[in-house]
Amino acid sequence: MEDLLNLPFFTDDQRSFARELDVNARQHKWPDPEQDDAAALKSALRTLGKSGALRHAVTEPWSMRANVLAREVLAYHSGIADLAWAMQALGGVPLLIAGSEAQKQHVLAKALAGEYCLGFAITEPDAGSDLSRLALRARKAGGEYFITGEKHLVSNVGVADYFVLFARTSDDRRGVSAFLLSTDLPGLSFELQRPLSPHPLGRIIFDKVKLPAEALIGKEGDGMGIALGTLGRMRTTVAAAANGFARRALDEALRHAMGREMFGKTLAEQPIAQGILAEMQARLDASRLLTYRAAYEFDSPSTGSGQAATRIPMQAGIAKWQSTENAQWIIDKALQLGGGLASLHGSIFERLYREIRPLRIYEGASEVQQLVISAEMLKKAGKSND
């Protein structure tokens, strides 16, 4: 951790925050989600809330550097703690961007304390990477909205008190609106879907669910901007989580390689293993530098965007794409160095191997990031040719 914190990207407050979180996260016995993922998530969330660890996740001004440090630290120690942090931010940021004072006051203070659990529901069976295909309809009648249909692959199903829900209020391109959805409304039901690594995930089914006008976040038609602004912020933090998983895998692999004897020396003394370890370190360093560059530029007034910025598409896209792909590679090599025992259920390598996989798919798959990056490149090149 210190090698990272010595880089010139951070303020002293951010360094202290990361050190304190690291010490606390190392000492805490995080719950095991394999038995009961929902209970583990709630318990992790309460711990984060009580310790003040969520203070940068659901408050403005949003410090991208503090938030990426938080996710790298938490992912290193516990995937479920990182997930609890991430979902609070994913559900809280839309309210920071466009919520009414009443919505913020009602939800964010309790979310910050870990008392309310949040979620973000946008994906539908026919609308994942391509959000223009969003079809769930919120029909307005008598000042209220009525919703029938479904969302799927939504994290924190069965656990969240509130979801930020995205639904169509008209057919045109700007016809998506965001709503604050309380999960105890009549007509709502939930069905669990089982992901690769333990994680409360599932479908939300709406049967004539009635939402009051006050549930609307921002104005009708603001939804897609709120969703993309939120995902734009979160993308750099997903990169940081990937780096946390990868750093853990590298530390564990190094420890194992230094202790494992074979062919008259340790595994760490075998030249081929040394080459693999060197490449793991180089890829991790590259990922972290890309992630902290994106975070620094997000926070920096010199980018021309400052605290009001919700998107740094090119830098965030590069950080997420490269960090998640590199982390998958690093974890795979760590498991390889660990050998047969590392592949058994319950080993740290096996856990990380499952935990890293969805990060290359959600919040913009790697291929979507490539599209975003190339679109930015072409825009820039077009401008410079003018």
Ligand X SMILES: Cc1cc2nc3c(=O)[nH]c(=O)nc-3n(C[C@H](O)[C@H](O)[C@H](O)COP(=O)(O)OP(=O)(O)OC[C@H]3O[C@@H](n4cnc5c(N)ncnc54)[C@H](O)[C@@H]3O)c2cc1C
Q: Which residues of the shown chain bind ligand X in the complex (CB under 6 A)?
A: 119-123, 128-129, 153-155, 195, 199, 201, 358, 361-362, 365, 367-368, 371
The token pair at 39 is 């209970």
Residue 352 beta carbon to ligand X: minimum distance, rounded to whole angstroms: 15
Measured from the CB atom, is 258 or 371 closer to ligand X? 371
Question: Out of 325, 363, 367, 376, which one is annotated catalytic?
Answer: 363
With H, G, I as helix, E, B as strand and everything else as coil, classify residue 58.
coil
Return d(Cα 313, Cα 232) in angstroms, integer. Answer: 7
What letters, b where the CB count within 10 A reaches 16 and e where it falls short, cover 43-63? bbbebbbeeebbebbbbeebb
Amino acid at 120: F
Tell me if residue 191 is catalytic.
no
Decide: 330 and 249 in contact? Cβ < 8 Å. yes
Return d(Cα 82, Cα 61) in angstroms, integer. Answer: 21
Return d(Cα 154, Cα 121) in angstroms, integer. Answer: 6
Measured from the CB atom, is 113 or 131 closer to ligand X? 131
Residue 129 beta carbon to ligand X: minimum distance, rounded to whole angstroms: 3
Residue 265 beta carbon to ligand X: minimum distance, rounded to whole angstroms: 41
Decide: 44 and 80 in contact? Cβ < 8 Å. yes
Decide: 283 and 330 in contact? Cβ < 8 Å. yes
**Closest to 231 in 3D by CA, of 125, 312, 132:** 312
CB-closest chain residue to ligand X: 128
Residue 48 beta carbon to ligand X: minimum distance, rounded to whole angstroms: 18
Measured from the CB atom, is 102 or 196 closer to ligand X? 196
Measured from the CB atom, is 154 or 240 closer to ligand X? 154
Residues tagged active-site: 363
